[in-house]
């Protein structure tokens, strides 16, 4: 299969990016300053990420809400015009097919799904489609994420009036006469924005943001360390078809109305876990030593296997190795010490509450 390029490919190369294959796309893993510098620039200032590999899908028609609810545990009727929700496509066993953002804009539902799951999601949507719903995949659009405590100031300095735009709001804007759809959201734990526009306009918008001199280009490497610290799950790591939202700490994504109706895929499994607790829970893990513990490492307690590291690496903000893992519920309390079995040695790890670095969303 041919590897895909976002419309910013040449821009990345010109800015010193190291390109790597990711989910079928050729993406910048880092630029010249490296993952740690890009990570800290995002935590302290503003980082600019190309997330155009994520796929934007629009659902419209009189059946769109009902259709969306058949596949997810979201009370979509409660998502007002101009608002955004985090949601999940679920299978009948309560496993997660993908996680996504869904927004209501101009009466239509706008979805953003993971690159690596996009084809699966599109097939899933099409197979379940009804006559009252239309689906449109926006391959002609690009997506940027501007994240960090200075992101709002950067946007304002370009003349964008953010007044009243809170975390998880979506609104239309215009910059250099280019139409933009901006959500105040992201996947770093920081205040920030995701900016959707036609692919033909994204280079100009990226250059305009970079020209403020307040913005640091950041690659997928920093995006991963930022979301790990923020305790945000990544499909294929903290989420997959065998991991339920209750295990992954996503109870907030199960709308009360939908729980009461028990009418979403996998509701029996998920509601049982909701009431009695899941067998395994997602936790943060901090190693006592300096050596990172990586994805897939088995976790032990008293010699028995009690979990697995789902994302392991290094936290630039904490300046120490950090990980996310699924562990047996009885060992998920903060402060519990468990053992990571790493390549011939054993590393003690302490369970830490999530997020590892506090979220700083702008709630107005």
Partner 1 sequence: MLKFSEDHEWAKLDDDICTVGISPHAVEQLGDIVFVELPDTGTSVSKGDAVAVFESVKAASDIYSPAGGDVTEVNSALLDDLTAITPEKAMQNWLFKIKVSDVGDLESLMDEDAYNALIG
What residues line the site for partner 1 (CB under 8 A)?
Answer: 18, 29-30, 34-37, 221, 224-225, 290-292, 294, 313-314, 316, 321
270 has which bridge partners? none
From the CB of 237, what's the least distance to partner 1, in Å? 14
Residues 6+ apart with CB under 8 A from 122: 55, 57, 135, 137
Q: Determine whether 147 is exposed, middle or buried from the number of CB atoms within 10 Å of its CB (0-12, 13-18, 19+).
A: buried
> Please, which residues have CB within 8 angstroms of residue 342's CB and are 6 or more apart in sequence?
291, 293, 294, 297
Q: In the complex with partner 1, which residue's Cβ is closer, 29 or 300? A: 29
Residue 52 contacts residue 28 (beta carbons within 8 Å): no
Cβ closest to partner 1, residue 36 vs residue 301: 36
CB of 185 to partner 1, least distance (A): 25
Taking the least distance from each CB to partner 1, the nearer of 73 and 325 is: 325
Residue 224 C-beta: closest distance to partner 1, Å: 8
Nearest-approach distance from CB 101 to partner 1, in angstroms? 25
Nearer to partner 1 by Cβ, of 49 and 314: the residue is 314
Residue 211 or residue 318: which is nearer to partner 1 going by CB?
A: 318
To partner 1, the closest distance from the beta carbon of 225 in angstroms equals: 6
- Residue 247 and residue 95: Cα distance in Å, rounded? 10
d(CA 311, CA 224): 9
**Do residues 174 and 232 lie in contact, with contact meaning Cβ atoms separated by under 8 Å?**
no
Q: Minimum distance between the CB of residue 52 and partner 1, rounded to whole angstroms? A: 21
Q: Which is nearer to partner 1, 265 or 313 (CB)?
A: 313
| Residue 13 per-residue DSSP state | H
How long is the chain? 364
Based on CB atoms, which residue is closest to partner 1, 150 or 225? 225
From the CB of 18, what's the least distance to partner 1, in Å? 8
> What is the distance between the alpha carbons of residues 15 and 1, in angstroms, rounded to a whole number?
27
Q: Strands, DSSP E only, in 114-230?
A: 134-137, 141-147, 170-175, 178-183, 192-198, 216-217
Q: Give the C-alpha distances (Å, rounded to integers) separating 62 from 70, 111, 292.
A: 14, 17, 50
């Amino acid at each position: 299969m041919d590897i895909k390029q976002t419309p910013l490919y040449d821009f990345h190369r010109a800015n010193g990016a190291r390109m790597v294959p990711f989910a079928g796309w050729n993406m910048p893993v880092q630029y010249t300053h490296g993952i740690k510098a890009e990570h800290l620039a995002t935590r302290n200032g503003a980082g600019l990420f190309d997330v155009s590999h994520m796929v934007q899908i629009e659902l419209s028609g009189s059946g769109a809400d009902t259709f969306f609810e058949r596949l997810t545990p979201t009370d979509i009727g409660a998502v007002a015009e101009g608002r955004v929700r985090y949601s999940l496509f679920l299978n009948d066993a309560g496993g997660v097919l993908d996680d996504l953002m869904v927004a209501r804009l101009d009466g239509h539902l706008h979805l953003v799904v993971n690159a690596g799951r996009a084809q699966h999601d599109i097939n899933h949507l099409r197979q379940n489609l009804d006559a009252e719903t239309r689906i449109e995949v926006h391959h002609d659009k690009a997506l940027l994420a501007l994240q960090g405590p200075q992101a709002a100031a950067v946007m304002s300095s370009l003349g964008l009036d953010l007044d009243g735009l809170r975390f998880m709001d979506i609104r239309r804007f215009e910059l250099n006469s280019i139409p933009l759809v901006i959500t105040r959201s992201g996947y770093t734990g920081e205040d920030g924005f995701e900016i959707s526009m036609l692919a033909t306009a994204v280079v100009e918008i990226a250059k305009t943001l970079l020209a403020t001199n307040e913005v640091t280009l950041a690659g997928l490497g920093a995006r991963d360390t930022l979301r790990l610290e923020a305790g945000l799950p990544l499909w294929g790591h903290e989420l997959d078809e065998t991991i339920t939202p209750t295990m992954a700490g996503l109870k907030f994504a199960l709308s009360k109305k939908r729980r009461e109706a028990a009418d979403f895929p996998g509701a029996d499994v998920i509601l049982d876990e909701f009431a009695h607790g899941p067998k395994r829970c997602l936790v943060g893990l901090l190693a006592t030593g300096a050596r990172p513990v990586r994805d897939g490492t088995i976790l032990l307690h008293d010699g028995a296997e009690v979990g697995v590291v789902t994302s392991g690496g290094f936290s630039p903000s904490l300046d120490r190795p950090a990980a996310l893992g699924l562990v047996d519920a009885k060992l998920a309390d903060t402060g519990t010490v468990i053992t990571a079995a790493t390549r011939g040695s054993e590393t003690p790890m302490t369970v830490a509450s999530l997020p590892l670095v506090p979220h700083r969303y702008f709630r107005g």
